[in-house]
Amino acid sequence: MKSQKDFFNSVAESWDQKCKHDMTKVESILDLAEIEAGNYILDVGTGTGILVPSLAQRVTQSGRIKAVDVAEKMIEVAREKNQYENVVFECKDALDGEETEIGYDHVICYSMFPHFPDKARAIKKLSRKIKAGGRLVIGHSQSRAAINNLHKRVDNAVKEDNLPSMVTLEQLFESAGLSVRQTVDDLEMFVIIGERPQN
């Protein structure tokens, strides 16, 4: 059976034509995250780099962005589209290995969190990459029901990739030591933002 990585590599070149994002909603999600100039951002599962221009504008030249994805073809497209001096693109699994560099202001999973097989592990691992006062953001510019129904129809490689309920995610955030600052769960979007306590 085709793997997630194979699926995303196979659709990378046509992804931006097939998968349209409402950038007004995307900007709203980033507004909720309260990204500031000088921030250091990890964009997990960047895909074709949908967030990168908006993130680059917000962090300005004084900030930095690391955009990662497991699919090398997605990273190739993202790198071609986005030429910024302070953005680094890497083909890697954000959960692989132990993170030696704890210090991101924001770790953002936009339109990709359902693709983690083990949601609890993902939140624990990602939360360790955030500095004190930093935030983990899971965001979608569609409702939870719309996302889960879409994955069932798209391809066998992603048909089981579901977005958990908000209650479940709140519990997973708290178990990982994050305090939930913001949630949105309606027909327009799905967002949860957790913060690592200062001490």
Question: pLDDT tens digits for 38-83?
Answer: 999 999 999 999 999 999 999 999 999 999 999 999 999 999 999 9
Q: What are residue 167's DSSP bridge partners? A: none
CATH code for the structural domain at 4-14+21-195:
3.40.50.150
Tell me how far apart the alpha carbons of residues 195 and 133 are, in angstroms, rounded to a whole number: 6
- Reported confidence tier of residue 34, pLDDT bands at 50, 70, 90: very high
> How wide is the angle at C-alpha 22 spanned by C-alphas 63 and 109, nearest 5°?
50
Convert 72-86 to b/e letters by CB count within 10 Å (16 or more is b): ebbbbbbbeebebeb
Tokens of 17: 């034509």
Cβ neighbours, 10 Å, residue 146: 16
Domain-by-domain residue ranges, the chain?
Answer: 4-14+21-195
Q: Which of 31-35, 63-67, 98-102 has the lowest mean pLDDT?
A: 98-102
**pTM, entire model:** 0.93
Q: What confidence score (pLDDT) does residue 150 get?
A: 74
Tell me how far apart the alpha carbons of residues 120 and 125 are, in angstroms, rounded to a whole number: 9
- Reported confidence tier of residue 173, pLDDT bands at 50, 70, 90: very high
Helices (H) and strands (E) in the chain, counts: 8, 7
Q: What confidence score (pLDDT) does residue 102 get?
A: 64
- Reported confidence tier of residue 8, pLDDT bands at 50, 70, 90: confident
